[in-house]
Amino acid sequence: MTTDSDQMTGTWQVKTGLAQMLKGGVIMDVVTPEQAVIAENAGAVAVMALERVPSDIRKAGGVARMSDPKMIAEIIESVSIPVMAKARIGHFAEAQILEALGVDYIDESEVLTPADENNHINKHDYKVPFVCGSRDLGEALRRIGEGAAMIRTKGEAGSGNIVEAVRHARKVLGQIKHIHGMEPDELMATARDLKAPFALVKKIHETGSLPVVNFAAGGISTPADAALMMQIGVDGVFVGSGIFKSETPEIMADAIVKATTHYQDPAILAEISKGLGSAMKGIDLRTLPESEQLSKRGW
Amino acid sequence: MPVIGVLALQGDFVEHINMLDTLEVNSKEIRSKNQFKNIDGLIIPGGESTSIMRLIEIFDLKNEIISCSKKGMPIWGTCAGMIIVAQNIIHNESQDKVRKYDPLNLIDIDVNRNAFGRQIDSFEHDIDVEGLHDPYHSIFIRAPQVSRAGKNVEILASINKTKPVILKQDNILVSSFHPELTNDNRIHNLFMQMVLRR
């Protein structure tokens, strides 16, 4: 007979498992309980609770920190879907606070000002799972090595420009294919070049896929952007400024949710892309100085 | 050979398909009304139940699923899927502004969403399942709890003898955990027995 005493919480399986449940879905940035309700009612699979969306963080400048726990708690109370929140890179005390608040996922995020230029959080220490950004496979595997149970592209948050998310997703997926096709002899040198844990490189070689769910983030502003990323091969999308900085957030949220399900059907995509009002304005990244590029934060 | 449809609006439908592959069962992803033809069973996967129910409504699949059930087709809901096929959903009172969906009412149970707790309470646990010889290692993620089961509903496994986690009524199977996230295909095999017995 089995007994109740053998219930295990905070395991790798339950951490990566929640990310599996989010696949094919849209995770939306929200700054108030009212926005969180709009997101859930539009069909979001989770919300990211934060004080300012990335495009406003950009405008405000200064140091961007973890959001007010009171606001995060109010958002947790107001919706039935999972609630995520952001901690600064390397700021394990912020992560401890977010875990104590009961958030369902922590995003160790380059959108906030990094707290440690060398070390990321040791994410194995927590029962709550973490998602982290990456620009290439080496970075993704370093984060997984530290305990991240979900990966997303960094993209360029708050830019309204999809180009960096495309670059990062293609890079990660291309490197996975390349390693999958390698001879076993080449794996150690590859791990050295990627600065990635050997065991994880070996696993990619065997399975041909990341051991965790991989979402797109950073610059997604329209249903077509979401469909583009899904067709490139990510498992789902984060939309930050793209919804609540658009002309009609309810309509945009709804359309991006539908596009993420029917990403392979151009006729449906054409229908849902009609009359959405203007998307967020966006930035040509070639005009953005390197010091203002959030994706360059972390390593 | 039977073909199993897997509702592919959102969630971990690929994991169900992979598990069916290990049993050499053919499957197909279902996203639209016209894809319900020529299937012998239907799986509604794990995911976010509000998101899946909204997409069922928008793409007008509710009547298709109900008519599959009326024909006696075996339907299995895991976690979010269990919420969707229930008779009633019990909601949290503090979430008074979010939209409440009517479930499909295919099995005589009431389900309390996320009653096993938030993600921090998600757990792994060995359960004894009727019809399986050895315990089944099951994964519960922000899992729903069955707060009432009608007298014609068969309880195949419970936690602590009080919390049913896998139940069956006629052609409908529900589980509050995720067999598709394991390497153990015995529950998928139980479902396939329901399909093959028809």
CA angle A204, A198, A16 (to 5 degrees): 50
pTM: 0.96
The 10s digit of each residue's pLDDT in B184-196 is: 999 999 999 999 9
pLDDT at residue A212, rounded to an integer: 98
Of A88, A122, A94, A125, nearest in space to A108 by CA: A88
Q: A8 vs chain B: nearest CA distance in angstroms? A: 5
B121-144: average pLDDT:
96
CA A168 to chain centre: 12
Radius of gyration of chain A (CA): 19
Which residue among A20, A260, A261 sits closest to B12, beta carbon to beta carbon? A20
B44-59: average pLDDT:
97
Sheet holding B88-90, edge to edge: B88-90, B109-112, B145-149
Of B6, B58, B57, B56, nearest in space to B35 by CA: B6
The 10s digit of each residue's pLDDT in B99-115 is: 999 999 999 999 999 89
pLDDT at residue A282, rounded to an integer: 84
pLDDT at residue B114, rounded to an integer: 86
The 10s digit of each residue's pLDDT in B138-186 is: 999 999 999 999 999 999 999 998 999 999 999 999 999 999 999 999 9
The 10s digit of each residue's pLDDT in A202-246 is: 999 999 999 999 999 999 999 999 999 999 999 999 998 899 999
Name the catalytic one among B15, B16, B64, B79: B79
Q: Which residues, 6+ apart, have CB-to-CB distance to B67 below 8 Å?
A: none
CA A62 to chain centre: 23
Q: Is the pLDDT of residue B198 over 90?
A: no
Q: Which residues of A touch B8 (CB under 8 A)?
A: 24
Please indicate whether, in this complex, the C-beta atoms of A21 and B95 are within 8 angstroms of each other: no
Q: Which residues of B touch A34 (CB under 8 A)?
A: 97
Please state, in angstroms and as integers, the Cα–Cα distance from residue A68 to each residue in A52, A71, A94, A245, following that order.
Answer: 11, 5, 11, 21
Which residue among A33, A43, A82 sits closest to B55, beta carbon to beta carbon? A43
Question: Would you tell me how many other CB atoms lie within 10 Å of the CB of residue A59?
Answer: 9
Percent of chain A with pLDDT over 70: 98
A100-108: average pLDDT:
98
The 10s digit of each residue's pLDDT in A242-295 is: 999 999 999 999 999 999 999 999 999 999 999 998 888 888 888 888 888 888
Q: How far apart are CA A130 and CA A253, in angstroms?
A: 24
The 10s digit of each residue's pLDDT in A134-167 is: 999 999 999 999 999 999 999 999 888 999 999 9
Please indicate whether, in this complex, the C-beta atoms of A43 and B114 are within 8 angstroms of each other: no
Q: Is the pLDDT of residue A3 over 70?
A: no
Q: How confident is the model at residue B47 (pLDDT cuts 50, 70, 90)?
A: very high
A40-51: average pLDDT:
96
What residues are paired with B104 via a beta bridge?
A: none
A86 belongs to the catalytic site = yes
A64-87: average pLDDT:
96
Q: How far apart are CA B24 and CA B18, in angstroms?
A: 10
Q: Which residues of A touch B157 (CB under 8 A)?
A: none
- Structural domain boundaries enclosing B25: 3-197
Lowest-confidence pick of A73-87, A111-125, A275-289: A275-289
Q: Which residues of A touch B178 (CB under 8 A)?
A: 17, 20
Please indicate whether, in this complex, the C-beta atoms of A43 and B50 are within 8 angstroms of each other: yes
Whether the CB-CB separation of B45 and B78 falls below 8 Å is answered with yes
pLDDT at residue A2, rounded to an integer: 52
Q: Which residue of A has its CA nearest to B79?
A: A21
Q: Is the pLDDT of residue A185 over 90?
A: yes
Please indicate whether, in this complex, the C-beta atoms of B120 and A9 are within 8 angstroms of each other: yes
Lowest-confidence pick of A53-67, A258-272, B30-44, B66-80: A53-67
Residue predicted with more confidence, B86 or A53: B86
Give the torsion through C-alpha atoms of A98, B95, A81, A257, to 10 deg. Answer: -130
Whether the CB-CB separation of A81 and A103 falls below 8 Å is answered with no
Q: A11 vs chain B: nearest CA distance in angstroms? A: 7
Which residue among A22, A40, A260 sits closest to B50, beta carbon to beta carbon? A40
Q: Provide the number of CB pairs (under 8 Å) joining chain A to chain B.
A: 144
Q: Which residue of A has its CA nearest to B45?
A: A21
Of B3, B2, B6, nearest in space to B180 by CA: B6
pLDDT at residue A293, rounded to an integer: 87
Whether the CB-CB separation of B111 and B89 falls below 8 Å is answered with yes
Name the catalytic one among A86, A123, A245, A258: A86
Mean pLDDT of chain A: 95
Please indicate whether, in this complex, the C-beta atoms of A80 and B113 are within 8 angstroms of each other: yes
Domain count, chain B: 1
Which residue among A8, A102, A261 sits closest to B31, beta carbon to beta carbon? A261
What residues are paired with B4 via a beta bridge?
A: B27, B41
pLDDT at residue A5, rounded to an integer: 58
Instruction: State the CATH number of the domain containing residue B38.
Output: 3.40.50.880
Question: Would you tell me how many other CB atoms lie within 10 Å of the CB of residue A5?
Answer: 6
Please indicate whether, in this complex, the C-beta atoms of A2 and B142 are within 8 angstroms of each other: no
Q: B92 vs chain A: nearest CA distance in angstroms? A: 8
Lowest-confidence pick of A64-73, A271-280, B36-45: A271-280
pLDDT at residue B176, rounded to an integer: 98
How do B26-30 and B41-44 pair as beta strands? unpaired
A52-73: average pLDDT:
92
B180 belongs to the catalytic site = yes
